[in-house]
């Protein structure tokens, strides 16, 4: 009888397990210290040196600094979903260099008292930049930990003064047929449109991100600015934003048009609600994909339940998936 591969414990894995046991014995305080150490190491790490610096103060927003170890810059910037550049994971890093990110404006319109077309330079100065370390869970079953630089979307929302009719926000991202090969394909109904309820958009964790790892966003990650909603599947976080519309009715998003039974409006990370074609109970952390690496359990609201659970009190999350 041959032993199944899963039963063999190689020395490195065995020793890793012993280290983990030692860490567990050190107790929760020890784990917390390890988390802080990871953050400090990040703060002191040399910048990737690829793009201009964009730093931020450590965020004081509840839940904004996960204890988990950030994914390597090389992984964050080479394994991407950005269908405007093609559907493979490597297409964005290969092709997004062609996208022109200056000059750049974002039109904020609809149900607001002060609609305005913001220039990128104005947005960069609108509020103090903060460092946020968020988990990102993609609907496909992989995850990363990304140190973003940006500020709460609420900062922008307050300045345009939503009217009483504003119930939802619609986010529209760049669709440039000339520089984005994917936009010439019919894989989605372009432009990429996403949406949030106003209270979700106002939640301080909802981030307008301009950078990562202390530098401007690389194009493949959504330069020059993008949304990041850490308790929802990654596709809710539109890249390369050009328009934000305040509306009365729930927006129809690009993914809802593509697969209404698969991609709901809310799309909160939920290990108990499977995608029709696969389970959402576990995830693969990018950078941890050794042969013997166990998948991680996916957390309710991606681990942000304490901060955002109240937004959905009384809602049937299987119906409003
Ligand atoms: N935004 C646009 N405009 N186009 C896209 O294809 N993909 C989404 C989201 N934002 C996407 C997008 C998906 S599926 C994920 S998982 C995240 O971006 C990935 O962000 P990252 O590449 O920075 O990790």
Query: Would you list the DSSP string of 198-255?
Result: HHHHHSTT-EEEEEETTEEPPGGGTSS-EEE-TTB-GGGS-SSEEEEEEESSPPPPHH
Report how far Cα 301 is from the mean position of its chain's Cα atoms.
13
CB–CB of 131/56 below 8 Å? yes
The model's pLDDT over 38-96, given as tens digits with 9 standing for 90+, comes to 777 777 777 899 999 999 999 999 999 999 999 999 999 999 999 999 999 999 999 99
Q: What is the pLDDT of residues 153-164, one digit of tens each?
A: 999 999 999 999
Name the residue of 132, 237, 243, 287 whose CB sits within 8 Å of the most ligand 1 atoms, as the mutation to test its pocket.
237
Ligand 1 centroid to residue 303 C-alpha, Å: 20
**Residue predicted with more confidence, 31 or 224:** 224
Residue of minimum CA distance from atom 13 in ligand 1: 235
Distance CA 68, CA 63 (A): 12
CA–CA dist 150, 152 (Å, integer): 7
CATH of the domain at 146: 3.90.420.10
3 C-beta neighbours (distance < 10 Å), count: 7
Residue 69 lies in a domain: yes
**Are residues 137 and 234 in contact, defined by beta-carbon separation less than 8 angstroms?**
yes
Domain annotation covers residue 91:
no
Identify which of 133, 169, 143 has the alpha carbon closest to the alpha carbon of residue 154: 169
In a domain, 93, yes or no: no
Q: What is the pLDDT of residues 263-285, one digit of tens each?
A: 999 999 999 999 999 999 999 99
Residue 320: inside a domain, yes or no?
no
First to last CA, the chain: 46
145 occurs within a structural domain: yes
Q: Which domain holds residue 224?
A: 5-83+98-175+191-312
Nearest residue by C-alpha to atom 17 in ligand 1: 234
Ligand 1: nearest atom to the Cα of 192 = 3
**Distance from C-alpha of 100 to C-alpha of 318, rounded to nearest angstrom:** 40
Q: Is 134 a member of any domain?
A: yes
- Centre of ligand 1 from the C-alpha of residue 21, in Å: 36
**Per-residue model confidence as pLDDT tens digits over 163-193:** 999 999 999 999 999 999 999 999 999 999 9
Number of domain units in the chain: 1
Q: Is residue 89 part of a domain?
A: no
pLDDT tens, residue by residue, 236-248: 999 999 999 999 9
Pocket of ligand 1 (CB under 6 A): 80-84, 136, 138, 173, 192, 221-222, 234-235, 237-240
- Does residue 240 belong to any structural domain of this protein? yes
Mutational test site, ligand 1, from 235, 242, 269, max ligand atoms within 8 Å of CB: 235
Distances (CA, A) of 136 to 25, 63, 71: 29, 13, 10
């Amino acid at each position: 009888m041959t032993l199944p591969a899963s039963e063999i414990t190689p020395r490195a894995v065995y020793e890793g397990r012993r280290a983990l046991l030692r860490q567990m014995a050190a107790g929760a305080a020890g784990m917390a210290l390890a988390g802080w150490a990871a953050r400090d190491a990040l703060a002191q790490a040399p910048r990737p040196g690829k793009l201009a610096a964009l730093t931020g103060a450590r965020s004081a927003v509840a839940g904004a600094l996960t204890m988990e170890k950030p994914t390597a810059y090389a992984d964050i910037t080479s394994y991407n979903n950005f269908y405007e550049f093609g559907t493979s994971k490597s297409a964005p890093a290969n092709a997004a260099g062609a996208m022109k990110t200056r000059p750049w404006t974002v039109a904020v319109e609809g149900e607001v008292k002060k609609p305005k077309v913001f220039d990128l330079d104005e947005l960069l100065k609108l509020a103090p930049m903060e460092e946020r370390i968020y988990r990102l869970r993609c609907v496909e079953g992989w995850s990363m930990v990304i140190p973003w630089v940006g500020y709460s979307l609420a900062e922008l929302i307050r300045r345009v003064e939503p009217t009483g009719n504003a119930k939802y926000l619609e986010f529209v991202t760049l669709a440039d047929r000339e520089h984005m090969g994917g936009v010439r394909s019919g894989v989605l109904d372009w432009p990429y449109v996403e949406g949030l309820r106003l209270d979700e958009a106002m939640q301080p964790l909802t981030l307008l991100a301009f950078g990562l790892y202390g530098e401007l966003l690389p194009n493949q990650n959504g330069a020059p600015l993008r949304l990041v909603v850490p308790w929802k599947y990654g596709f809710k976080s539109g890249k390369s934003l050009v328009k934000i519309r305040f509306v009365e009715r729930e927006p129809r998003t690009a993914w809802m048009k593509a697969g209404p039974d698969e991609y709901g409006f809310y799309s909160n990370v939920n290990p108990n609600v499977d995608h029709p074609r696969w389970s959402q109970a576990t995830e693969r952390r990018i950078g941890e994909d050794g042969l013997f690496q166990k998948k991680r359990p996916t957390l309710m609201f991606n681990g942000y339940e304490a901060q955002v659970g109240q937004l959905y009190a009384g809602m049937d999350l299987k119906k409003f998936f």
